Amino acid sequence: MMKGKMKDNGLLQDEPLLFEQGGKGRKGYSLPAWDVEKEDPPKTIPSHLLREGLEGFPQLSEVEVVRHFTRLSQWNYGVDSGFYPLGSCTMKYNPKVNEEVVKLKGFTQAHPYQPEDLVQGILQLMYELERFLCEITGMDRVTLQPAAGAHGELTGMMMIRAALHLRGEKRKKVLVPDTAHGTNCSTSTIASYQMVEIKSNDQGIISPDQVAKVMDHEVAAIMVTNPNTLGLFEEHLGEIAEIVHRKGGFVYCDGANLNALMGIVRLGDLGVDMVHLNLHKTFATPHGGGGPGAGPLAVKKELAPFLPIPVIEKEGNGYRFNFDRPNSIGRIKAFYGNFGVILKAYAYILSMGAEGLKRASEMAVLNANYLMKRLKNTYYLPYDRPCMHECVFTDRYQEKHHVSTLDIAKRLIDYGFHPPTIYFPLVVKGALMMEPTETESKEGLDRFIETMITIAREAKENPDLLRQAPSKVKVRRLDEVLAARKPKLRWTPKT
């Protein structure tokens, strides 16, 4: 038995709905006697806004409510629970010191309508974070306003449109590789451009020749994800940037995978004109459930005049918002971004330092390549070459036993692991994308690797076991087709 082997089962507590608990007359609170005259609701509230009651509404004590939500929380799985190999979202561990910093009263009690002279510390913090992000990316200016990566993308494409408009040009197309994030396709379409797909080559990257064939004076930009969704570095990006620039286009880089490059490669040095950064991914600020996030956009000086207003300027020993930007695309978010997320990223960068950020990237790449090397004889590896922060396998070897990627992912749950991203990227059939991140130990990776090898053996010897997985959790496998076509969205009282 391997040292430190994790058990794959434990205490499972059933938990009914709140509507199925409690008893008549129970309350989870007690209030003091009213010291004001009681009003009749119909006299103060319009009748159409009143209802007599909610049939079957639960009546519970405080302890019943607390236990209910505590037990539900224990069913959740997060990066604080264990290894989270979820590629594409960088579900990495978030240092808790960042959470403490964001709770400081000077930050939590600040209000966006306060005058600038009362929030000089906050303006300085955001200004310095912009400088840090410029240094990391090789860019000249940054806006912190975008609320997420896709929002940063749209901001960038709006700026490109504004820059072309000032030139008197009306370009129609945007080049998007098939290994780019899906948001790149959506963003170019929302920005009223026609998307032109570029096929990746047999190495899993885009070739300069492919770009040169489609690059013309109708192309506004190319949107490149680097490293791409296969976890591979676009090694010809410098040459591709020259091809695009010669025809007057711009190079947009999706920086969602920057955690493989920090301190190693500056995208601006490769000819990139703008790049968005996912602070809620690369810079260890937690996200999930829809937010909050932050997707700052970093740009070269030629595009700086088009940044959203306001921009933060330093004047003498002070800082101010500058709204006097005649070529700006305008404000793209209320106030100035999700400050709590911005603050955590600032704390992370300061605590890590330049060498720490570089080390994080090196460890992310090392962990991914270790995982890839150990598993490539067990799971099919479509691109057998060094990867960056993530690697992509497929179910080709297991398919002959009628075991699919979905079956493998479901079986992982029985062993106490959250599944990786599956069936993405779309350019790989039956994809299993694994992203270990820099915070995982060798022992943790070995446990995951041994489990994946065990599952591959099960697929050969007992494939029904996988097709019925998971079997050791609260909820068994759902009929996903039925759930998608006929979702049950409303609770109905039992009769």
Domain limits, the chain: 97-351, 359-483
291 pLDDT tier (thresholds 50, 70, 90): low
Alpha-carbon span 440 to 415, nearest angstrom: 18
What percentage of residues in the chain have a pLDDT greater than 70? Answer: 94
- Residues 126-135: pLDDT tens digits? 999 999 999 9
Domain 359-483, CATH number (from 3.20.20.370, 3.90.1150.10, 3.30.559.10, 3.40.50.300): 3.90.1150.10
Residue 491 has pLDDT above 70, yes or no: no
SS3 content of the chain, % helix, strand, coil (to 5): 40, 10, 50
CB neighbour list of residue 171: distance below 8 Å, 6 or more residues apart = 164, 193, 217, 218, 219, 220, 249
| CATH architecture, domain 97-351 | 3-Layer(aba) Sandwich (3.40)
Alpha-carbon span 314 to 39, nearest angstrom: 56
3 pLDDT tier (thresholds 50, 70, 90): very low
Residue 78 has pLDDT above 70, yes or no: yes
Q: Phi, psi (5° rounding) for residue 310? A: -85, 165
Question: Around 345, how many Cα atoms within 13 Å sit in the side-chain half-sphere?
Answer: 30
- Residues 187-240: pLDDT tens digits? 999 999 999 999 999 999 999 999 999 999 999 999 999 999 999 999 999 999
Alpha-carbon span 401 to 388, nearest angstrom: 31
